[in-house]
Amino acid sequence: RSLDDLWSQMQIIEIDQPLVTRAARLADTLSLRGYDAVHAAAAESVANGVLVAGSGDRQLLDAWRYLGLATYDTNAG
């Protein structure tokens, strides 16, 4: 698939103060690195029962599962 095809299926999430605050809490609670905490908070903010969060990062996948999100491990073959 081309990047254009994938991009059209993405939801762009602006980083605002509430998202940063939530990310900081998640970083502390789940021992996440800053960037992973932002990804976790962003996915949580748009979770709608249809969202599947994908990553190859085990810690981020675990965080999303903790938050009740469906996940896809890009390293699973």
> pLDDT tens digits, residue range 9-38?
888 899 999 999 999 999 999 999 999 999
**1 falls in which pLDDT band (50, 70, 90)?**
low
Percent of the chain with pLDDT over 90: 78
59-64 CB contacts, 8 Å cutoff, 24+ apart = 59/30, 59/31, 59/32, 59/33, 60/32, 60/36, 62/30, 63/26, 63/30, 63/32, 63/36, 63/37, 64/40
pTM summary value: 0.84
